[in-house]
Amino acid sequence: TQLLEQSPQFLSIQEGENLTVYCNSSSVFSSLQWYRQEPGEGPVLLVTVVTGGEVKKLKRLTFQFGDARKDSSLHITAAQPGDTGLYLCAGFVMNRDDKIIFGKGTRLHILP
Amino acid sequence: EPEVTQTPSHQVTQMGQEVILRCVPISNHLYFYWYRQILGQKVEFLVSFYNNEISEKSEIFDDQFSVERPDGSNFTLKIRSTKLEDSAMYFCASSDDRGETQYFGPGTRLLVL
């Protein structure tokens, strides 16, 4: 069974601080996605990382895929209250099944 | 920007009743999915659908569940006889790259009484 563990589960920090959240697995994934989910809404895709070691930037968000394609991190620089939300990582295995496996998420709260 | 849409946004039903949840995937996508999320829990895969047939289903997707693509635009999830534990948010997703990048709809909140 493939599992994705996200840490921390909850994070509350002051506006302007930097933070990193992690997504770890013992399984290898073909790609890994990061989503953001607001209460009562569907997950919104932020990024897909495919190559081991790949780094993608989305404004103040930096996503990295581990070299072994088993883990990923999301780093936010100078967090703002608008970054508050639930961040989900999800892994996909090509040619095995067509589903993505979600982690439980990191609930981030940025205090003004 | 193209998006996945779902109807209804909320559905309340009595236990034992049938419900049909509807989705309109992004128009050029070929791979379709249903997921559910019980309140406070993680998003769970239910079923994937490609070329008019199920390609993968989870253990949650038992005989009470079925999916259909009745025309060129809609993708439906039917629950034949709802149970209390079917109460959840149900998300439809679609992909054009065999699932690597999936775009989710806003969800249908199902409450079974």
Best of A47, A92, A100, A104 to disrupt the B interface (most B CBs within 10 Å) is A100
- What is the structure's pLDDT at A109? 96
Task: Kindly report the nearest CA distance between residue A77 and chain B, in angstroms.
Answer: 25
B93-103: average pLDDT:
85
pLDDT of residue A97: 61
> Cβ distance A69 to A29 under 8 Å?
yes
Cα–Cα distance list, B84 to A76, B21, B55 (Å) = 40, 16, 27
- Selecting from B42, B98, B99 the residue whose C-beta is nearest the C-beta of A105 gives B42
- The mean pLDDT value of chain B amounts to 93
Nearest to A42 among B48, B101, B104 (CB): B104
* CA B89/CA B59 separation, integer angstroms: 18
In total, chain A counts a number of residues equal to 112
The model's pLDDT over A57-104, given as tens digits with 9 standing for 90+, comes to 999 999 999 999 999 999 999 999 999 999 999 998 776 566 788 999
Output the pLDDT for position B82.
97
Position B4 scores a pLDDT of 96
| b/e map B9-34, b = 16+ CB within 10 Å | eebebeeeeebebbbbbbeebebbbb
pLDDT of residue B98: 74
Q: Are A91 and B95 in contact (CB under 8 A)?
A: no
Tens digit of pLDDT for each residue in A14-43?
Answer: 999 999 999 999 989 989 999 999 988 899
Chain A residue numbers with beta carbons less than 8 Å from the beta carbon of B105 are 42
- Domain boundaries, given as residue ranges, for chain A: 6-111
Cα–Cα distance, A8 to A59 (Å, whole number): 22
Q: What pLDDT does A95 receive?
A: 60
- Among candidates B77, B109, B105, which has minimal Cα distance to B92? B105
Q: Is B37 left (phi over 0), alpha (psi -120 to 50) or beta?
A: beta
Cβ-nearest to B45 among A40, A41, A99:
A99
* pLDDT at residue A59, rounded to an integer: 95
Could you tell me which residue, A2 or A27, shows the higher pLDDT? A27
B44 touches chain A (CB under 8 A): yes
The pLDDT of residue B71 is 86
CA atoms within 13 A on the CB side of A18: 7
Q: Residue B97 — pLDDT band, cuts 50, 70, 90? A: confident
Q: Taking the domain B5-112, which CATH number applies? A: 2.60.40.10
Q: Would you place residue A2 in the very low, low, confident or very high pLDDT band (cuts 50, 70, 90)?
A: low
Contact B62, B52 (CB under 8 A): no
Q: Which chain B residues are within 8 Å of A5, Cβ to Cβ?
A: none
Average of per-residue pLDDT across B62-86: 94
Neighboring chain B residues of A31 at a CB cutoff of 8 Å: 100-101
Angstrom distances, CA of residue A19 to CA of A46, A63, A75, A88: 17, 12, 6, 15
Token pair belonging to B9: 């946004």
Residue A102: which of B42, B50, B98 has the nearest Cβ?
A: B42
DSSP state of A83: G
Among 3.30.390.30, 3.90.470.10, 2.60.40.10, 3.30.230.10, what is the CATH number of A6-111? 2.60.40.10
Query: Which pLDDT band, with edges at 50, 70 and 90, does A3 fall under?
Result: confident
Percent of chain B predicted with pLDDT > 90: 79
Is the separation of the CB atoms in A38 and A58 below 8 Å?
Answer: no
Residue of B nearest to A95 (CA): B98
Domain coordinates in residue numbering, chain B = 5-112
Measure in Å the smallest separation between the Cα of B71 and chain A Cα atoms: 22
Contact check, Cβ <8 Å, A48/B89: no
